[in-house]
Each structure stands twice: as C-alpha cells, then as structure tokens.
Amino acid sequence: MAAVAAEERDLRPWILLSPALTTITLLLAIPTCFVVVYSFWLRTAAGGEQVGFYLDNWIEVLTDQFYRDILFQTFRIAAITTVLCALMGYLPAYFIAFSKMRNKAFLLLLLMLPFWVSYIIRTMSWINILGVSGAVNYVLTSLGIVSEPIQMLYNETTVVLGLIHFLLPFMVLNIYVSLEGIDPNLVDAARSLGSTPFQAFREVTLPLSLPGLAAGGLLCFVLGGGTYITPLILGGPTDAMFANLIYEAIIIQLNWPLGSALSIVLLVVLGAVVLLYNRFLGLGQIRKGFG
C-alpha cells in the first residue's frame, strides 16, 4: 500500500511536466540535434551541401582568431550591459517594492508595457532619437549648438544602449521579486537596533536582494550575449556580436553547416555560463522571477 502511494507521488510531477517536456523535445532538443549533424556537413563551392562527416567547419571556428575576438567582444558587451542594468534597475525595483502606493500592480504593468511593442521596433526607435535626422540632432541644430548633425549611432555605446533598453525590465522584475519577498519587519528590527536607514539597507535589504540581482544578471547576460538584432540595427561594422556571425553565415551566405557550428559554440559557451552560475548562486530565484 505505502509503496504504491509513494510510486504515485513520484509519477505526478512527470505527468504534469509532460506537455512541457514534449514541446521542448520536439521544438528544441530534436532541432538542436539536426544542427549538430549539419555542423559536420560541408558547403560546396557551387552552393550545395555535401552530406558527410567533415571537421572543416569546426577547425575553422575553433582555430580562427577572428571568432575568438568576436566571442570576447560579445562577452564584454553583455557584461557591460548587465552591470549597467543592475545599477539602473535597482532603484526602480526598490521604489516599486517599497512604495506605499496601493496600485503597485499598475507600476508593474508600466514595467511590462515595452513588451507590448516589438523588440525590433523598440530598437529602431533609437534611430529616430539619435540618428542624423533624429530628435536630438534636430534640437541641437535648431538651437544652433552644433552646425552639423552629429553621428551618434552605430558604435558600441549605442549597442549597449539598445541592449539596456531591451533587458532592463527583466532586471527590474527579478530584483523586485526578491525585494518584495523581504519581510519589512527585518528593516524595522535593524533600525531599532541602532542602524541608520542606509546601514539597514546595506546590512539587510541589499544582501537579501542579491539572489534577485544575480538572477536578473544571468538573464541579462544570456539574452544580451545571444542577440544579433541590436548590433545589426544600432551597431557599426566592427560592433558585431557572436550571434551576428551566425546570422551572417545562415541568412546571408546560406552556409548552414558553418552557421550550425557557430550556433553550437554559442550554445555551449552560454550554457556553461548558466551552469557555472547555477553552481555558485543557484537558479531558484529565476523561477521565482517568472512566477
């Protein structure tokens, strides 16, 4: 009897997970296997594909310094973006979490609002703001501050700007969730024991919100490190990120085998980041962030 009951208990999570697992298997795991297989094919000069087991793509990807440089650049841009998102995201998250306003839900809705507009359109909007005929240049030239419009777009800074625009809500939400979970009595207790508001923040609120900060950081880094649209729209010719190489190989050159090998490199590298993160910080917070 007891054994049967235990067995039933063990099965239940799997039954509940099965739709998700099926979807992931069909749409993610199997296609990924195809990509792995592709990466060992070869693209012929004629533009066709040579089926077989060739290591040429892999040798190119793993030995060419160019790919390593771009990977490093990708990491740098993603890291800068993540740090800036953390710095810029904490304050709004703190404000929403501890605001005495009754319509906190409304503030959260405002935070979600950007998601209603396509990410591409949001990114392109920067062209209207910072472009040569954009709003900022219009103001500067009409006020006579500059005689010629300034070229502000198409460099690493604007790529980071676009990424922050894209990723900040994820950071704010994650920090918000962990701040929201902090018992307000803890701060009151710290204050009653003699700490100033800032000391109480440093000793209690900040350390207890670190899991959310870490989860938001991971999301920003992985999403930022895997994007190609932002550098495509807002970056210059030298500001490519790794995913741009994949885009270039697959969409422009139609070189699927090389693109596949590059995809797997990015997948493995970002996957390794996630695993390392999980090892040291735990991912429980991310689940909460979406809950």
Partner 1 sequence: MAQQANAVELHNTVKRFGEFTAVHSMSLNVTDGSFVTFVGPSGCGKTTTLRMIAGLENATAGDILIRGQRVNDIPIHKRNLGLVFQNYALFPHKTIFENVAFGLKYRNVDKQTIARRVREALQLVQLPHVEDRLPRQLSGGQQQRIALARAIVIQPDVLLLDEPLSALDANLREEMRVELKRIQRELGIATIFVTHDQAEALAMSDRVVVMSNGFIEQEGTPEEVYNEPASEFVANFLGISNLMSGSVEDASADTVKIAVEGGPHLLAHPREGRGKHKGDRARLAVRAEKVFLAEQHAADDDSVIIDGTIDAVDYQGQAARYFVTAGNLSWQAVNPIDRHPFHEGQAVKLRIRAQDVVLLDPARSGNGAEQAG
d(CA 75, CA 270): 10
d(CA 164, CA 158): 10
The residue from 35, 56, 195, 201 that contacts partner 1 (CB under 8 A) is 195
**Given the complex with partner 1, which of 199 and 238 has the nearer CB atom?**
199
Token match 């094919």: residue? Answer: 41
The residue from 49, 60, 156, 203 that contacts partner 1 (CB under 8 A) is 203
- Nearest distance from C-beta of residue 200 to partner 1, angstroms: 8
Dihedral class, residue 194 (left if φ above 0, else alpha if ψ from -120 to 50, else beta): left
- The yes or no reply on residue 183 touching partner 1 (CB under 8 A) is yes
The residue from 78, 190, 215, 232 that contacts partner 1 (CB under 8 A) is 190
Question: Residue 212 in contact with residue 177, Cβ under 8 Å?
Answer: yes
- The yes or no reply on residue 275 touching partner 1 (CB under 8 A) is no
Question: Residue 42 in contact with residue 55, Cβ under 8 Å?
Answer: no
Question: Residue 174 in contact with residue 168, Cβ under 8 Å?
Answer: no
Question: Residue 76 in contact with residue 280, Cβ under 8 Å?
Answer: no
Question: Residue 249 in contact with residue 258, Cβ under 8 Å?
Answer: yes
- The yes or no reply on residue 188 touching partner 1 (CB under 8 A) is yes
What is the Cα Rg of the chain in Å? 24
- The yes or no reply on residue 207 touching partner 1 (CB under 8 A) is yes
Please, which of residues 75-114 interact with partner 1 by CB under 8 A? Answer: none
Q: Which stretch in 108-116, 189-197, 232-240, 279-287 sits in contact with partner 1 by CB under 8 A?
A: 189-197
- The yes or no reply on residue 193 touching partner 1 (CB under 8 A) is yes
d(CA 95, CA 90): 8
Token match 């290591």: residue? Answer: 55
The residue from 18, 22, 196, 278 that contacts partner 1 (CB under 8 A) is 196
- Nearest distance from C-beta of residue 110 to partner 1, angstroms: 25
- The yes or no reply on residue 122 touching partner 1 (CB under 8 A) is no
- The yes or no reply on residue 186 touching partner 1 (CB under 8 A) is yes
**Given the complex with partner 1, which of 102 and 287 has the nearer CB atom?**
102
The residue from 18, 23, 128, 192 that contacts partner 1 (CB under 8 A) is 192
List 42's β-bridge partners, or say none: 50
The binding site for partner 1 (CB under 8 A) comprises: 183, 185-186, 188-196, 199, 203-204, 207-208
